[in-house]
Structure 1
Amino acid sequence: MMPFLDLKAQYVSIKDELDAAVLKVLASGAYVLGDEVAAFEDEFAAYCGVKHAIAVNTGTSALHLALLAAGVGPGCEVITVPFTFVASVSAISYTGARPVFVDIDPVTFTMDPAAIQAAITPRTKAILPVHLYGQMAEMDAIMEIAERHGLPVIEDACQAHGAEYRGRRAGSVGLSGCFSFYPGKNLGACGEGGMVVTSDDEQMRQIRMLRDWGQERRYHHVLKGFNYRMDGIQGAVLRVKLRYLEDWTEARRRHARHYSRLLSTSPSVIKPAELPDRRHVYHIYAVRTGDRDGLQHRLIAAGIPTGLHYPIPVHLQKAHADLGHRAGDFPESEAAARQVLSLPIYPEMNAEQVEWVAAAIDGVAYAA
């Protein structure tokens, strides 16, 4: 059976470097933050094209702290989308603010800029677009609206390491960008990890304090902070993996192009769109189909696992029923939640595996 994601294969490919990096941290005694984390911050900031990067323990923590540093708190509203992983919305709730949803564009699955204006109220404090599946949202239009209303934009780039919009890297367009290094991400830790990137000095200063108990310096607590620090081993692991990220990204993009060629005339699915002004990094290769259950069962029978990202939009989740939404409120998000199916994609795949999946979708063999 083909794996949906093969983390062991990635580890084997760089085993000696990873093992040496981990052992170096163990020998150093610098287990929380430390030199490896600081070096990774510098390297990731350079990769994203920003001045600063602040390493934290998860992508959710990154979102939480970026929102707090932007002034979001009780009584505020933050505009985001319901078709995302629940962490995007939970981070808003952690600040005491209220998530306000707008629908997605059905082609890109990202925030529809045309829906933002109607959602803005005097309580709106920030806009949080989600760069879903590895493709950035329509950032110029979002930024124009945000700047007109004096609102900061916090990019949820947790699925978009290295994605680009008109030549700008994910995380570098808004006030801050937030990344997750959960193991299955394009740049994944051997455990949990996250990062906030920004070119704003004050945002950097506040987030650095907030991640470490609000300390300006040891035992001088300026803010009511959190224990959101990255551990030294994850910093070392991520430094090694960052050196391979572009090669892995190009492998994902190559597999995605192969999928898209093979499925270009498929009667069963609609392939994902990569807009010409963007670089899609294909964290997920998500197709749309009117018979998702049937297609999923057919692929499972052929030994091919699939994923659902995400079958229930956040506004219909029981945990967020207090927001008062009903089915039908965000039709594009709800349609995507019914129709989207994620196919296997990871750098270590080969062309034959891509062809196997494509053949199983329509029950025919495709020419390579």
Structure 2
Amino acid sequence: MLGERRRVGGGGGYNSKGSPEWCKTGSKSLPRNYFGSSCQTLYISTKFVFGNVIFSWQPLDYSAYYVQITRDTTSDTWVRVNSTHYTVGDVLLFDSISINVRTSGSADNNIMTYNVSKVQTQIGNTMNLSWTAPFFPLAGQYLVYHTHRENRTILSVSRHGVRYGGDTTSAKYTYLTRPFLSTNIMFEIRNITLDDAGYYNGGHSADDAWWGGGVVLVVSDKPSKPKVTGDLNVEVNRYTSLTCSSQSTSAPDYYSRLVTLSYTWFVNETKIDRETTETPRLYVAKDIRYNRYSCTATEEDMESDRSDPVQINPLYTSTLTGQRKMNIQELEIENLRLENAKLQKEIKKLEVETEVLQSKKNFYDVKLQVIRNEHPEVLAQMLKDNGC
């Protein structure tokens, strides 16, 4: 059971003459066996509200109380409270929650244990839910409630039979307990969806949907499709981190927020061994630009869809300019640009030298023409000397 109204103690309650002994509690006197073998100062009850349990106690005529909480076998230190209730959060993480309340100036223990009951299934399954009711109303009806986003009645049981709203049958639920007056409450839920998750409890009034007993139905689904984020532009020979971001989509939400996901990383469609963290650290080498990284998230045995892949752009410092970091494509373009500028300078230099040589050639052509016109005998001798 998720919890119950309970008086702590056990046995006894009668004196040697067979008459009941009495305990004083606030302004009332009650038989000792109302509490157990010893007189208990407080009456403690529990209330389950969206993943938390609220312990409340009576009577209310003490100025302060001292509270100690035990989660499974781990006990907290004592704390002083000035109210008559105490809330413990995220109880689905534990099997049991115990509270010990002492009144101001007393060392008497008033202990209440809240047993956490939850069942887990997946979408599309059929599941039986059950708990033991403290009593079944001989007159009237026992109502079964489902609390998820809202509190609603799913069925009602009387000594004459079961009603599902205004009908005697339901495509969703089937009450299984016979006879109908039994305190062993059991019913079937079919074709389970995320909307069926939440807290189920029963009683003769709407307030009983919260108090004690009942069970939490957890409906599991695969995590959301992850998204990989991180610094994708990193200088070579340095480290960077990628993050696989996903969330549990199981219900109810006060369960899903407690879920711890595990992760699987892939590089170029190959699983990276022994890497299950959300944010792995990667060394950026020159050839890392060819890698495509992706991931999946897993909740228990349910794995998400694969994330879209990302690539890391290694950054380099130009060896020609040494001024800024760039990726390999930018570096290649920058180097080509600088080489082209250098080549253009060489071409310009050759063009100038060619013009100078052309000027010299024109000068000698003119001079040779003058010699041919004015001194043909000299030109003939020059040609003869050169073997022409």
The structure having more radius of gyration, on CA atoms, is 2
TM-score (norm 2): 0.24
